């Protein structure tokens, strides 16, 4: 009995010594073991394994019509009518850029031409062959030095413009003459959407602003939670019936009544910790089918939420900040690692994953990223940060070919009137 008590006391004493920072008995060894366990745990949590999945799945989308009537206010572009010849047929030239992020801005496509802007904020209207019809600039000498970047929205005979230096104005599309011009408190950082006689845009302070198209007067504004850093992404908006729904720099999705400016619902998709990481946080544009809203982010989350209530339908693990494409009951999206995902729109099930960067060596694919993509008649067209376009089959997701379109950065591709367009540094190229 005494022997057992002695052994017990000795055991306790030795363990107390090992846990004492002042004692060196087993202490270093135990600390090393614990740290190794922590490292293993973190690695397992953060590791993202991406691989091809269900490659044998074949798609036949012949029964699904191309989206000839694009619902721009919902970012619902769908599959579009483009046969994919990739023959260059026109070039719309402008002055070389000093800031390449101008490539993130979308031209206005007209039935008989294109409208875009240059590095000094001059607005240029081209005819269908690339000839300049008019060029107008409404900035002072000091404002031109700021290299304003412009967002466009066409409304019948007028072009509505917001920019990166807090100006917004309206000009006549036919002549380029100024209708009115006003200033906001902060620069704008979103697309422009319209509903009847109003336009909606979000500024850098995560404030949604509503203006009258007629004269630019403000109807109301709604400020959402702000971040401490300026976001490096453009915020997204859609309009549906009496609501405008928008994203901000910290991942909040907010629905607002168009007439009153009051919040209908709000869905925070990120914790408050994201506020300090806003510059690194990237969210895709919102896209809607009229019932749900779909979007993803670079935090490995793909959302489907109810359009009317903001409640979550499903969440899936997809790491992407590219605009998803809806085709029937299918969702096409591409991860930041270059994998094409095919997702069931209703349930969120991943149906197929194929590697579009398969032809890149491991070292190379770590340095490039996908810019944007569109879906044509039979193929998908993806532009990358290395100036190349990957053409992949919709049927099986396999890469058909890789085309070099530019020696530097290029924009996402756009399809309009059976043609494909890409913005390069100094020109917009049109392909048949």
**Pair of tokens at residue 401:** 């070919």
- Whether residue 211 contacts residue 199, with contact meaning beta carbons closer than 8 Å, is answered with yes
Tell me, yes or no, whether 72 lies in a domain. yes
pLDDT at position 137 over 80? yes
Q: For 23-85, give the secondary structure using H, E and C.
A: CCCCHHHHHHHHHHHHHHHHHHHHCCCCCCECCCCCCCCCCCCCCCCCEHHHCECCECCCCCC
Phi-psi region of 6 (alpha: psi -120 to 50; beta: other; left: phi over 0): alpha
pLDDT digits (tens, 9 = 90+) for 113-130: 999 999 999 999 999 999
pLDDT digits (tens, 9 = 90+) for 77-90: 999 999 999 999 99
pLDDT of residue 422: 97
pLDDT of residue 155: 86
pLDDT at position 196 over 50? yes
In this structure, the answer to whether residues 359 and 430 fall within a common structural domain is yes
Tell me, yes or no, whether 299 lies in a domain. no
**Domains of the chain: total:** 2
- Whether residue 395 contacts residue 380, with contact meaning beta carbons closer than 8 Å, is answered with no
Q: Which residues pair with 123 in a beta bridge?
A: 117, 136
Lowest mean pLDDT among 6-15, 264-273, 290-299: 6-15
Q: What is the mean pLDDT of the chain?
A: 86
Task: Single out the residue of 392, 429, 422, 420 nearest to residue 83, CA to CA.
Answer: 420
pLDDT at position 429 over 70? yes
For residue 401, how far is the Cα from the chain centroid? 25
pLDDT digits (tens, 9 = 90+) for 358-387: 999 989 999 999 999 999 999 999 999 999
Tell me, yes or no, whether 390 lies in a domain. yes
Domain extent, residue 396, equals 67-106+354-432
Q: Which residues pair with 90 in a beta bridge?
A: 430
pLDDT at position 32 over 50? no
In this structure, the answer to whether residues 11 and 72 fall within a common structural domain is no
Percent of the chain with pLDDT over 70: 84
Burial of 281 per CB tally in 10 Å (0-12, 13-18, 19+)? buried
pLDDT of residue 70: 65
In this structure, the answer to whether residues 23 and 91 fall within a common structural domain is no
In this structure, the answer to whether residues 429 and 365 fall within a common structural domain is yes
Query: Which residue, chain included where needed, has tokens 């062959």?
Result: 129
Mean pLDDT of all residues in 36-59: 55
pLDDT at position 21 over 50? no
Tell me, yes or no, whether 76 lies in a domain. yes
Tell me, yes or no, whether 6 lies in a domain. yes
pLDDT of residue 3: 52
pLDDT at position 43 over 80? no
Which residues neighbour 265 within 8 Å (Cβ) at sequence distance 6 or greater? 254, 255, 309, 310
In this structure, the answer to whether residues 8 and 82 fall within a common structural domain is no
Tell me, yes or no, whether 335 lies in a domain. no
CATH number of the domain to which 368 belongs:
2.40.10.480
In this structure, the answer to whether residues 359 and 432 fall within a common structural domain is yes
Tell me, yes or no, whether 158 lies in a domain. no
Tell me, yes or no, whether 364 lies in a domain. yes
pLDDT of residue 229: 56
pLDDT band at 183 (very low <50, low <70, confident <90, very high): very high
In this structure, the answer to whether residues 72 and 17 fall within a common structural domain is no
Q: Which residues pair with 91 in a beta bridge?
A: 429
pLDDT at position 20 over 50? no
In this structure, the answer to whether residues 21 and 74 fall within a common structural domain is no
pLDDT digits (tens, 9 = 90+) for 395-424: 999 999 999 999 888 999 999 999 999 999
């Amino acid at each position: 009995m005494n022997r057992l008590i002695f052994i017990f006391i000795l055991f306790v004493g030795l363990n107390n010594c090992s846990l004492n920072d002042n004692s060196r008995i087993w202490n270093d060894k135990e600390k090393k073991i614990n740290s190794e366990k922590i490292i293993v745990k973190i690695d397992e949590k953060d590791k993202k394994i991406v691989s091809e999945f269900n490659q044998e799945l074949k798609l036949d989308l012949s029964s699904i019509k191309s989206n000839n009537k694009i619902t721009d206010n919902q970012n619902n572009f769908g599959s579009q009518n483009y046969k994919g010849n990739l023959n260059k047929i026109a070039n719309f030239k402008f002055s070389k850029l000093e800031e390449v992020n101008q490539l993130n801005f979308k031209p206005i496509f007209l039935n008989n031409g294109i409208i875009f802007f240059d590095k000094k904020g001059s607005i240029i209207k081209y005819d269908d062959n690339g000839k300049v019809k008019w060029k107008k600039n409404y900035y002072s000498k000091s404002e031109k030095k700021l290299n304003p970047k412009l967002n466009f929205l066409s409304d019948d005979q007028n072009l509505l413009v917001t920019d990166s230096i807090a100006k917004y104005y309206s000009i006549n599309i036919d002549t380029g003459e100024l209708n009115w011009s006003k200033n906001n408190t902060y620069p704008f950082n979103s697309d422009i959407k319209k509903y009847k006689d109003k336009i909606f845009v979000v500024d850098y302070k995560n404030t949604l602003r509503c203006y009258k198209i007629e004269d630019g007067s403000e109807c109301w504004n709604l400020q959402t939670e702000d971040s401490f850093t300026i976001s490096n992404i453009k915020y997204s908006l859609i309009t549906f019936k009496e609501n405008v729904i928008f994203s901000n720099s910290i991942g909040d999705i907010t629905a607002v009544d168009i007439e009153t400016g009051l919040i209908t619902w709000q869905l925070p998709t990120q914790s408050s910790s994201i506020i300090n990481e806003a510059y690194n946080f990237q969210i895709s544009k919102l896209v809607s089918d009229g019932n749900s809203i779909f979007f993803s982010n670079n935090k490995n989350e793909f959302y489907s939420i109810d359009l009317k209530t903001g409640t979550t339908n499903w969440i899936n693990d997809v790491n992407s900040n590219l605009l998803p494409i809806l085709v029937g009951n299918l969702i096409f999206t591409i991860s930041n690692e270059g994998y094409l995902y095919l997702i069931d729109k209703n349930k969120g099930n991943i149906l197929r994953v194929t590697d579009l960067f398969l032809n890149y060596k491991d070292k190379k694919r770590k340095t490039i990223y996908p810019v944007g993509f569109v879906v044509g008649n039979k193929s998908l067209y993806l532009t990358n940060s290395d100036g190349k376009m990957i053409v992949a089959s919709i049927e099986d997701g396999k890469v058909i070919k890789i085309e070099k379109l530019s020696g530097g950065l290029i924009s996402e591709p756009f399809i309009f009137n059976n043609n494909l367009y890409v913005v390069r540094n100094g020109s917009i190229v049109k392909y048949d």
